[in-house]
A = this chain, B = another copy of it.
């Protein structure tokens, strides 16, 4: 469920935040569902509880979850602004990466192929025009 890469240069807590965001956005974790407790998760992932704490705090700040003292942490109701904000960021990143790919000489065919591959592996989620 959580594929943490201990060797990555990206801090563990950031990996956790990203992964949990993804689970929330894709609604694997549904609104008001309880997240695993800090200690449980720490034990499961053999990771320092402080690290989990930090991830949860970050998620709370960003509005993805809310915590109730003595009870635990829960998924916040979906918020459109979250999604659109993220989409904007992703589109921006996409532009940067596309620029780089084009500079390096990616061909239109290759580009199409990449898109098709992704499209197949996801299986829709993108409205397609004619196929």
Most buried by B among A67, A110, A125: A125
Q: How would you classify the secondary structure of chain A's contact residues: helix, strand, loop or mixed?
A: helix
User: Is A85 positioned at the interface, with any CB of B under 8 Å from its CB?
Assistant: yes
Is B125 touching A108 in the complex (CB atoms < 8 A)? no
CA distance A127 to B110 in the complex (A): 10
Structural contact, B91 and A106, CB atoms closer than 8 A: yes
Q: Decide if A100 is an interface residue (CB 8 Å cutoff).
A: yes
Can you spell out 9 A-B residue pairs with CB atoms less than 8 angstroms apart? A87-B101, A90-B106, A91-B114, A94-B98, A94-B114, A99-B118, A99-B122, A106-B126, A111-B126
Q: How many interface residues does A have (CB within 8 Å)?
A: 55
Interface residues of A in 86-131 (CB under 8 A from B): 86-87, 90-91, 93-111, 114-115, 117-119, 121-122, 125-129
Nearest neighbor of A65 in chain B, beta-carbon distance: B7
Q: Could you tell me if A11 and B78 are in contact, using CB atoms closer than 8 angstroms?
A: no
Query: Is the pair A90, B79 in contact by a Cβ cutoff of 8 Å?
Result: no
